Structure 1
Amino acid sequence: MIGIVLAGGQSRRFGSTKAFATYNGKCFYEYTIAALTPHCTEIIVVARPEDVDRFPSTLHVVTDLQEFAGQGPLAGVLTGMNTIQSDWYAVLPCDVPFADDSIIRKLMNHRAGNMSVAIEEIGKLHPLLSIWSKEAEPMIRSSLEMENRSVRPLIHHWVDGQVLLEKKPSLFDNVNRPGQLEGR
C-alpha cells in the first residue's frame, strides 16, 4: 500500500501552511507520516508548489497533476495514484496530528473488493481519513473533469470510528486555527 499525505491546502483559516505547524516540537506532516509508515511501503506528500522545497529532501514530495492543480483533496488523491502505482492507497490529511496507525489498521480491516473506505464517528464523516483502490482512479479523474471536487460521493463504505475514540478522543480532530491545540 502507498501512503498519500495531503499537504496542499490553502490554510486560509490557519494563516500559514498547516503541514509545518508544530505540536510538541514536531511538524504536523511528521505525525501523518508516522501514522502511515507501519502500513505503507512508500509515502507521497502532495503539496503546494511553493512548499515543496520546505520538506526534507528525503521525502517524496509532488504537486497536483497540472490539469487538476488546486482542485482540492480529490486532486491530491489522484496525483498520489498517478505518482506511484499500487493496488491500494491510504490517505491522511496533514492537519490531523492526533491520527495514528490505528486509523489505517481499522480501514484496512474493513476494505472489500475495490471499494473506497473512510471513517465516520458519531454521525461526522471524515472522507480524507480513507483507503482507496487503484480501481477508483478513473472515477476520481472523471469527477474532477466534471468539476465535481467532493470526496464524499466517491466513498463506498463508511467505517465506524467509535471504537478508536475510546482509545484517544481527539484522534479525528483536524486543526483549522492557530492556537487550537493550546492547553492539550
Structure 2
Amino acid sequence: MTGILGAVLIGGRSSRFGSDKAQAMFGDRSLAEHAAAALKPFVQEVVMIGGEAVPDLPGPGLGPLGGIAAALDWGASRGFRCVLTIGCDMPRVPDEVFETLLHRAPAYCSDAPVLGLWPSALGAHLLSYLEVGGDRSVRGWARAVGAIPIASDVVIPNVNTRDDLMAL
C-alpha cells in the first residue's frame, strides 16, 4: 500500500446554500478547489467524491458517510493506506490540523468531523454500518471504529449559506 489519498466531499445537496456550493466561487477558485489545495501538501493524490465524479456509496442521500465510504473504497482499490477527507465547504483549514490528524488514524477533527484520517481498510466496515442503519453521523461512526477526536485550536470556517461565504 502506498500513502495517503486526499478526498474532497462534494456530493451534498447544498439545500441551505441554494445551489451547488462545491462550485461556488471564493476569490479566483471554487470552494472545492480551495479544499483540494488545502489537502494537496499532505497527500499523494486528491480526488473529488460525490455527485457524478465518484458517486457516494452505497448510494446517494447518506450524507457525509456516503462520501467517506466512496473515498475509502476508491482509495483501497488504488492501494492507498489511508484517506484524508475534507468537506468542499471548508476552504480554510490550518496546516496544524492536518499535521495533527496525520499522526493518528483513525482520527477526526472534533469541531468538523468530516475532516478526518481514515484507514482505507475501514471501507467495508463503513458499508456494513450504513446497511444496518442507525446513527448516520460521522461522529457516530467514528465512535464505532474507535477514531480519536482531535480538537482544533482555531475555529475552522464552514460554508453552509451564502452569508457564510460572504463573511469569509
Partners of 1:119 and 1:130 within 8 A in 2: yes
Where in structure 1 are there 5+ consecutive unaligned residues? Answer: 50-60
Question: What is the match of residue 64 of structure 1?
Answer: 56
Task: Give 1:64 deviation, angstroms.
Answer: 1.7
Q: In the aligned structure 1, how far is the partner of 2:63 from the partner of 2:167? A: 31
Question: Greater Rg, structure 1 or structure 2?
Answer: 1
What residue identity is the alignment partner of 2:108?
A
Q: In the aligned structure 2, how far is the partner of 1:81 from the partner of 1:89? A: 6
1:46 has 2:37 as partner: no
Q: Quick one: which of 100, 106, 109 aligns to 1:106?
A: 100
Runs (4+) of structure 1 exceeding 3 A deviation are none
Question: What is the match of residue 29 of structure 2?
Answer: 26
Percent of residue pairs bearing the same amino acid type: 30
Task: Give 1:101 deviation, angstroms.
Answer: 3.6
Q: In the aligned structure 1, how far is the partner of 2:117 from the partner of 2:43? A: 11
1:90 has 2:76 as partner: no
Partners of 2:75 and 2:83 within 8 A in 1: no
User: Which string of whole-angstrom CA distances, capped at 9 and with x for unpartnered residues, describes residues 155-181 of structure 1?
Assistant: 22111211xx2xxxx5x1111111323
Task: Give 1:72 deviation, angstroms.
Answer: 1.3
Provide the TM-score with structure 2 as the length reference: 0.85
Question: What is the match of residue 10 of structure 1?
Answer: 13
| Number of residue pairs the alignment of both structures matches | 157
Task: Give 1:47 deviation, angstroms.
Answer: 2.4
Provide the TM-score with structure 1 as the length reference: 0.78
1:153 has 2:140 as partner: yes
Partners of 1:32 and 1:100 within 8 A in 2: no
User: Which string of whole-angstrom CA distances, capped at 9 and with x for unpartnered residues, describes residues 8-36 of structure 1?
Assistant: 00000000011111112221011111111
Q: Quick one: which of 61, 70, 77 aligns to 1:79?
A: 70
Partners of 1:63 and 1:79 within 8 A in 2: yes
Where in structure 2 are there 5+ consecutive unaligned residues? Answer: none
What residue identity is the alignment partner of 2:84?
A
Q: CA RMSD in A?
A: 1.7
Task: Give 1:100 deviation, angstroms.
Answer: 4.3
What residue identity is the alignment partner of 1:41?
Q
